[in-house]
Structure 1
Amino acid sequence: MGRSAVAVDVGKVETPPSLALHMVGKLFGGGSPPVGSRVLDAGCGRGAFVEALLSYLRSRGGALPEIVCAEKDGALAEVARRRFGGVARVVVGDLLLMGVEELGGPFDFVISNPPYVSYERISPELRATYRRLFSVASGRFDLYMLFFEKALSLLRPGGRLVFVTPEKYLYVQSAEALRRLLAGYAVEELEFVDERAFGDVLAYPLITVMRKAQPSGPTSVTLRDGRRVEVQLPRDGAPWLPAILAGEAPRGGCVKLGLLAERVSAGVATGRDEVFVVPREAVPQGLRVFAYPTVSGRELSSFTPGSELDYAKLRHVMLVPYGRDGVLLDEGRAGPLLAYLSRFRRALEERYVVLREGKPWYAFHEDPPMPQLLRPKILWPDVAKTPVFYVDAAGLAVPRHSVYYLVPRDQRLLRPLVEFLNGEAVGRWIAAHAQRAANGYLRLQSHVIRELCVPKDMLKTVNAAPWT
């Protein structure tokens, strides 16, 4: 798992021995497997989990279960066979396409660090095959999501599954079907693993422990700071992270920031900033009607925390082929802009949204919600050492994709919210809950910011009560 630093072996990063041993302990509930049990190592690589399993059982004197290793990579499978051929059966092939008979029957336990292969790196042919076979293969699914469904299909009733995967399945839209599937079973535990667990690989690991049984109670969640909370997970496919964060939030006296916002989102994704973002001084008179002040995450840092954007200090503008209503301009209305963009037409036509989704060649990667963008809003960089928030009081700036923005439902909350967000308590809360990027930076993503609790007393000062 871990997307960065995975270049050669198609999404596989070997599980560190200490983590593998920790997961084996969870697999067997701290005890030993019953005699005659069958264990599947799904995507075994060189056999890190087999090694951990043998070490675990040696220390407890437990009977060795029947172990089956499934691995798609022939070279890795051969290494596993040489190391553990005497105690484990190694099966070479795509586990996702195997039947239970090929594996010798159903299993009592499944353990895995599934390969993390993004949607873009799965061939179109395999995507189509997986969509036919798996209910969770919806939207822009990642490969590891399918391993959950496959493992559950291979487990006997009451069997246990322990996976380490990226945590993002808790909240991304593409995992909605997966969350709905998992919530139909007993998700016993979620453990947020230290992001340094995989060494130099930048990862946000999560251990999922579940049984193939009906849900019977709350899920125990272990946070990265060691605290534990009990959570009732949504069963309708909704993101799980809000429920997890709510489980540790103070009761009463506050309102989630997401309820106070009309929109919380990343800035505009053009798909070619080098074309659409240009120096302000270089814009010809005929293109100024399409030009909006724009700001990047790096540029925000030049302003004082909590201060208003000074448009005069913004050196670039974004050329926007959309009306203020957010509708893409037709070629007649966008004529002067298209004449300028035509020199970059080949590069624009090579974008995914044009080739695969059929968007007009001059459209942005994502259609910008201009009615919300062009309103007074709060801005912050997507990555920062310390959370810092700024004000676009006039609402004229179009943030780039490296900037997040929040549009309050009640504009009277604009300044009180910025003051609150720049407070020390909020900074500590975000530092405890945000994902870590490289070199100690924080990822200030919208799904975390929405969960901040805003004191009701602050809202009373402007008579804002959207929670009622």
Structure 2
Amino acid sequence: MNAKNIIKALTTYSNNVSDIEHMIVYAFIKKENIKYDNSDMLKDYVSELDDALCVKAVELFSKTDMMLSMESIVELLEQIVPEGEKKEKGIVYTPREIKEYIISRVCQTKNAPTVIDPSCGCGAFLVTAAQYIHQKFNMSYCDIISQNIFGIDIDDSAISKAKLLLELLACANNEYGEKTFNFLCANALNPKTVFKARKWQSIGFDCVVGNPPYVRFRNMSDESKSFLKHWTSADTGNVDLYMPFFEVGMSLLKKGAVLSYITPNSYIQSVNGRKLRAFLTLQNHPITIVDFRDAQVFKNVTSYTCITTIATSAKDSVIKYVRINEEQTLDSHCYSEYQTSAFANGAPWRMRKKDIDFVIQKLETVGTPLSKWKIRNGLATLKNDIYFFTPSKADDKYYYRISDGIEYRIERSICIKVAKPNIIKNEQDLIDKIKIAIFPYKLIDNVFAVIGEDEMIAKYPYAYQFFIDNKDVLQQRDKGKANYPTWYAYGRTQGMNNFGKKLLIPYIAGEPIAVLSLEENLLFYCGYALISDDEQELRILKCFLESDAFWYYIYHTSKPYSKGYMAFAKNYIINFSIPSVSEKEAQYLLSNPPKEELNKWIWGKYGIVEVPVIE
């Protein structure tokens, strides 16, 4: 029985998170024969227990195949954090092998190292660090906890769990002596927090480790956003929360010390990671990156991660980089070396083999880059299921839709057709998957303005009634803080003028896709479009954007997702170049030649004779 099923079974006894935690801990205490009366913390903890629940928990664990250990306790305590809280705070459970790999790499010191996790959560990394130090340096857990283990977290309940886990670790090893816990409940992005932490170790710490929170900028708390200006790695742009933790960690290190985090790998190439890349380049320390690419490290969480280790013992701009897959172990690989000086300040770190670089250089320089074409974002309502729908039926005046079991009629005159490039693979899909959008806008001096409520009520009463019935939902967009022209306006104004012939391009896909739309009034969402009045030009562009050459480019320069999918975001495609073609060549492209023949021809236009293969 895995951790998730254990938690599910425990919830049949109680849905209270505190009760579930107590049941797990008590079962561990009984299993390890811990003399909790010898520990003030555990004695107080046990006194709060519900005896009946604890008996049930012990019985449950005795019937499962899960071996109760410190590692399983850590996993179980992290599993019981409510899903909403996990998402809000960016909490994910770090697998044992990742923690052990990071700790073993950073703790290569002559004497027992001081270890700090600036986003420690329940203390998973710190427990692993304490176990490693105990084994390698033969120190008592009481001394390790008091002298070598330090943590910061914004959540006081997480810190309480971290202290509890360390206490359990010591007591499970028959150590009931006095100990001092070194934890700080504060936002690590606040410079005052770093100042307070440095009071523990005035010269800094030997090791900074952790799994910083995975929170996108749009979901970040206002408090955290207010602290970003203090960190040069994050003072501009819509950075993700984990990014400034590199600079926070570096500020906690002593000279010659080591930082190692597992984080998203997005900072390596993303636009919002440019300040972090510039910061790390300026530090001029050796960096080691183990990139998991699209291999999934975390259970039940789709993420794209890497382990980044920074050693401050030397001044060297080298990056040692390796990309591994799910079949490879963390120790079974060879690194390639790159110099940060080889990348322009803040430019993406594209770490590839020389033969791949040669091909990419050709694909970016032979012809005209896509940035010269009009590439546009789609509509953004922030509540697509309200505005976009597939009609259940239609007549001359109305579309009909079913919502929450109620049939609504919507005036056709306030509706437009929309497409979703993310789910469209070809022109037939475009026909089959068209949706209808309620579009409460009108053109005023060539600018779309939202239709006022009086006009809505007078001209479009049925559409207005549908909005009224969904008003509460619409007003919760942007966490209820946005100031829209009217409450039923789209969440963003982008994409409203994207009329004309176009090629529809998805946000992500597992193959190169560019779908031609000649319906000029069609708008789109969840994707991009390359817009042109020249149909022949679009058809030629489609040949290149659906070619093996384009997929090769995307595969080696873009952001990977699971199942072989890649990002097609505008910033990833604008440097891909389109070679010029003669009229004769244009006619060839328009003649719909066999795919294999066409791909070979396109490679030839870039001067690539030997067709490269994606490994």
- Choose from 265, 279, 287 the match for 1:181: 279
Distance 1:69 1:61, change over 3 A: closer
- Choose from 375, 396, 405 the match for 2:529: 405
Residue-by-residue CA offset, 1:394-452 (whole Å, 9 max, x unaligned) = 54321122x33334798754223322333345446656754324xx3625341575177
* 2:540 corresponding residue in structure 1: 416
Aligned residues: 448
Higher share of residues assigned strand: 1
Q: Gaps spanning 5+ residues in structure 1: where?
A: none
- Choose from 250, 256, 261 the match for 1:152: 250
Distance 1:270 1:459, change over 3 A: farther
CA positional deviation for 1:70? 0.6
Q: Which amino acid aligns with 1:254?
A: L
- Choose from 175, 183, 186 the match for 1:94: 186
CA distance in 2, matches of 1:326, 1:110: 55
CA positional deviation for 1:181? 3.1
CA distance in 2, matches of 1:36, 1:355: 50
- Choose from 303, 307, 320 the match for 1:203: 303
- Choose from 158, 162, 165 the match for 1:80: 165
* Contact 1:67–1:89 (CA under 8 A) maintained in structure 2: no
* 2:260 corresponding residue in structure 1: 162
CA positional deviation for 1:295? 1.2
- Choose from 419, 425, 428 the match for 1:295: 419
CA distance in 2, matches of 1:208, 1:258: 36
CA positional deviation for 1:110? 0.8
Q: Which amino acid aligns with 2:96?
A: P
Residue-by-residue CA offset, 1:104-136 (whole Å, 9 max, x unaligned) = 331132111112244565544x23653465452
* Contact 2:501–2:533 (CA under 8 A) maintained in structure 1: no
Q: Which amino acid aligns with 2:164?
A: V
* Contact 1:249–1:453 (CA under 8 A) maintained in structure 2: no
* 1:450 corresponding residue in structure 2: 573
Distance 1:375 1:131, change over 3 A: same
CA distance in 2, matches of 1:258, 1:8: 47
* 2:118 corresponding residue in structure 1: 42
* 2:449 corresponding residue in structure 1: 329
CA positional deviation for 1:217? 2.5
Q: Which has the higher contact order (CA 8 A, sep 6+)?
A: 1
Q: Which amino acid aligns with 1:80?
A: L
Distance 1:317 1:67, change over 3 A: same
* 1:274 corresponding residue in structure 2: 385
CA positional deviation for 1:334? 10
Residue-by-residue CA offset, 1:296-350 (whole Å, 9 max, x unaligned) = 247524xxx4x47765873524526264988331647994577665431524751
1:208 aligned counterpart, secondary structure: strand
1:108 aligned counterpart, secondary structure: strand
CA distance in 2, matches of 1:250, 1:63: 53
* Contact 1:41–1:67 (CA under 8 A) maintained in structure 2: no
* 2:364 corresponding residue in structure 1: 255
CA distance in 2, matches of 1:56, 1:459: 67
* Contact 2:261–2:309 (CA under 8 A) maintained in structure 1: yes
Q: How does 1:302-317 map to 2 (within 5 A)?
A: 305=426, 307=427, 314-317=434-437
CA distance in 2, matches of 1:215, 1:289: 66
- Choose from 373, 376, 384 the match for 2:501: 376
Q: Which amino acid aligns with 1:24?
A: I
* Contact 2:388–2:438 (CA under 8 A) maintained in structure 1: yes
* Contact 2:103–2:129 (CA under 8 A) maintained in structure 1: yes
Residue-by-residue CA offset, 1:208-233 (whole Å, 9 max, x unaligned) = 22245897434333234578462537
Shifted more, 115-124 versus 32-41: the winner is 115-124
Residue-by-residue CA offset, 1:271-307 (whole Å, 9 max, x unaligned) = 2323432457468489666543211247524xxx4x4
2:279 aligned counterpart, secondary structure: helix
* 2:491 corresponding residue in structure 1: 365
Distance 1:323 1:429, change over 3 A: same
Q: Which amino acid aligns with 2:159?
A: G
- If the length of structure 1 is used for normalisation, what is the TM-score? 0.75
Q: Which amino acid aligns with 2:207?
A: F
CA distance in 2, matches of 1:11, 1:177: 21
Q: How does 1:431-450 map to 2 (within 5 A)?
A: 434-437=559-562, 440=563, 442-446=565-569, 449-450=572-573
Instruction: Give aligned-pair identity as a percent.
Output: 18
2:504 aligned counterpart, secondary structure: strand
1:328 aligned counterpart, secondary structure: strand
- Choose from 65, 70, 73 the match for 2:151: 70
Distance 1:318 1:424, change over 3 A: farther
Distance 1:355 1:93, change over 3 A: closer
Shifted more, 130-139 versus 186-195: the winner is 130-139
CA distance in 2, matches of 1:408, 1:23: 51
Shifted more, 95-104 versus 110-119: the winner is 95-104
- Choose from 101, 105, 115 the match for 1:22: 101
CA positional deviation for 1:79? 3.0
